[in-house]
Amino acid sequence: MGKIKGCGNESCETHKKKITYKESEAFCSKCGSPLVYVCKDCYTQLPDNSEKYCVRCVANREDRRDKTKKIVAGVGSGAAAVFIAIFTRGKRH
């Protein structure tokens, strides 16, 4: 559910502009090529049975989640205050 398709023809305008189609569509309206499942983030062609995102984007998403957790933890330990102090000093120059 919620997967998207894109044109698999690399020379097609649709592919270049990373225009996406609904899963129910079967062919590109520009060039008539059969549509392929693509990653929602980077338009990489995906195999039929894969997730909405390619493995790289899935990894990126998990990375971001981890970093957010670390930043929140840092605020608790006062790291954010140190960062703000450095930033304010730098601005005076």
Q: Which CB atom, from 36 or from 39, has the smaller least distance to Zn ion?
A: 39
**Residue 7 touching Zn ion (CB under 5 A):** yes
- DSSP-derived secondary structure for 63-92: HHHHHHHHHHHHHHTTHHHHHHHHHHHHHH
**Residue 28 touching Zn ion (CB under 5 A):** yes
**Residue 58 touching Zn ion (CB under 5 A):** no
How many CA within 13 A on the CB side of residue 73? 6
> By CB under 5 A, which span of 9-17, 18-26, 66-74, 85-93 interacts with Zn ion?
9-17
